[in-house]
Structure 1
Amino acid sequence: MINWDSIDTVFLDMDGTLLDLQFDNYFWLQHLPRRFAEIHQRDEAEALAHVHERIGQVHGTLNWYCVDYWSEQLQVDVAALKREIQHMIAIRPHVEEFLRRLHQSPRKVLLVTNAHRKGLDIKLACTGIGRWFDGIVVSHDLRVPKEDPQFWHCLHARHPFQSGSTLLIDDNETVLQSAQDYGIGHLMTLLQPDSSLQKRIDTHFPGIHHFDEIMPEA
């Protein structure tokens, strides 16, 4: 599926790509609304509707991913609530071998994520995957999410790359479309970002189930 000889730069998303998206879906859809209800002594169903409505209002924006924004908006310590269930953070199958092989190759490998640094730090501490990257790019540092075409211009300014020989793997197809519009030449998605949900069958971009399907040479 990938001609590795034609790839010199690899951009990898984190949530739903390297890590199981089940943690994030459970946190935002269940744990956060429930704890919000407990902290503010509100009806749980009402709290669930309130939190989901607020999340929907900023979907796809930088605030949608921002721990500080949600801590302020909901008057809860979102980072602390994430740590309450950090045992659920899980690396997807074959990811560590995939990262190890990329790290040992001459390719530049960057973690490129919309995750806020407070959430990112928790996940890196739990998984240890940070050691495999040549750099970590956080959209909050660039002040624009990956869904925005301007993100890729900002990324190129900080970490120059040749678009035609760059591979991006991301579970978010809006992000992949943004990258394609910029000109990134190799794009791939995940068919089952959340292991607790059904595999996707209607992805616009080529997809894999696990990373052993595209393992680079040892």
Structure 2
Amino acid sequence: MFPWHKIDTVLLDMDGTLLDLHFDNHFWLTLVPQQLSTQKQISLAQAQALVEESYHRVLGTLDWYCIDFWQQQLDLDILTLHYSLVERIQMRQDSMPFLQALATVGKKRILLTNAHPKSLELKLEHTELARGLDEMLSSHETGYPKEHPEFWRQAFEKYDLDPSRCLFIDDNEDILEASKLAGVGFQLGIKNPDSKKPHKDFVDFPAIDDYQLLHQELLKVSNS
């Protein structure tokens, strides 16, 4: 699928790419409206409409991914609610073998996530993800989401990357496009970010639903 001899670094999204997106979808689309409905004494349908309208207003901005912003906006203890669902935080079953295979063939593995540092810390605490990575960067450290070119400029500079020799993997096609515009040489989509939902279609980028496909390629690289 990829000319691995032209790739030095694999840049990886977290939620939906290495971790099952079911946790986040359940949290933001089910638990938050339920809590809002109880707190404000409004119907669940009203709470869902309120939440969706709020989400839509800041979609694609750093606020959309910010726990502190939503804590203030919705007047809910978002972080404590996160901790109430920790048993749902799961890695994709194919993630760690793939990350280990990348290390075996000498590829650097850098996590690039829009997740808030508090959310990132929680997920690292409850998974083995950190063992499969060389570096980690939250977009909140740069002041820009991954949708913005400035995020990419700062990431390339921070890790002294040649973007043309990087592969970026994400479940969001808009963010894959942003990485391409920023100069990242190779992109890959993830069709099944949420294990409980149907597969997604990707229009402009190759996409897979199992890292085993890449794992096999990497085994050939390591044996050659």
TM-score (norm 1): 0.95
In the TM superposition, 1:197-216 aligns within 5 A as 197-215=197-215, 216=218
Deviations 1:1-29 (A, max 9, x none): 12222210110000010111111111111
Aligned length: 218
User: For the Cα contact (< 8 Å) 1:93–1:210, is it kept in 2?
Assistant: no
Deviation at 1:48, TM superposition (A): 1.4
> What is the rounded CA distance, in whole Å, between the counterparts of 1:202 and 1:68 in structure 2?
32
Name the amino acid aligned to 1:102.
L
Name the amino acid aligned to 2:5.
D
Runs of at least 5 residues in structure 2 that lack an aligned partner in the other structure:
none
Deviation at 1:185, TM superposition (A): 0.6
> What is the rounded CA distance, in whole Å, between the counterparts of 1:205 and 1:87 in structure 2?
33
User: For the Cα contact (< 8 Å) 1:109–1:135, is it kept in 2?
Assistant: yes
Name the amino acid aligned to 1:200.
K
Aligned partner of 1:171 in structure 2 is: 171
> What is the rounded CA distance, in whole Å, between the counterparts of 1:204 and 1:66 in structure 2?
28
> What is the rounded CA distance, in whole Å, between the counterparts of 1:58 and 1:201 in structure 2?
24
Aligned partner of 1:154 in structure 2 is: 154
Aligned partner of 2:5 in structure 1 is: 5
Aligned partner of 1:100 in structure 2 is: 100
C-alpha RMSD of matched pairs (Å): 1.3
Aligned partner of 2:87 in structure 1 is: 87
User: For the Cα contact (< 8 Å) 1:112–1:136, is it kept in 2?
Assistant: yes
In the TM superposition, 1:1-218 aligns within 5 A as 1-215=1-215, 216-217=218-219
Deviation at 1:157, TM superposition (A): 1.6
Deviation at 1:80, TM superposition (A): 0.9
TM-score (norm 2): 0.93
User: For the Cα contact (< 8 Å) 2:12–2:168, is it kept in 1?
Assistant: yes
> What is the rounded CA distance, in whole Å, between the counterparts of 1:121 and 1:211 in structure 2?
24
SS at match of 1:195: coil
Deviation at 1:43, TM superposition (A): 2.4
The runs of at least 4 aligned residues of structure 1 exceeding 6 Å deviation read: none
The 10-residue stretch of structure 1 (117-126 or 104-113) with the greater mean CA deviation from structure 2: 104-113
> What is the rounded CA distance, in whole Å, between the counterparts of 1:62 and 1:26 in structure 2?
21
> What is the rounded CA distance, in whole Å, between the counterparts of 2:124 and 2:103 in structure 1?
17
Identity of aligned residues (%): 38
Runs of at least 5 residues in structure 1 that lack an aligned partner in the other structure:
none
> What is the rounded CA distance, in whole Å, between the counterparts of 1:203 and 1:210 in structure 2?
18
> What is the rounded CA distance, in whole Å, between the counterparts of 2:157 and 2:150 in structure 1?
11
Deviation at 1:143, TM superposition (A): 0.3
User: For the Cα contact (< 8 Å) 2:142–2:154, is it kept in 1?
Assistant: yes
User: For the Cα contact (< 8 Å) 2:156–2:163, is it kept in 1?
Assistant: no
Name the amino acid aligned to 1:210.
D
SS at match of 2:115: coil
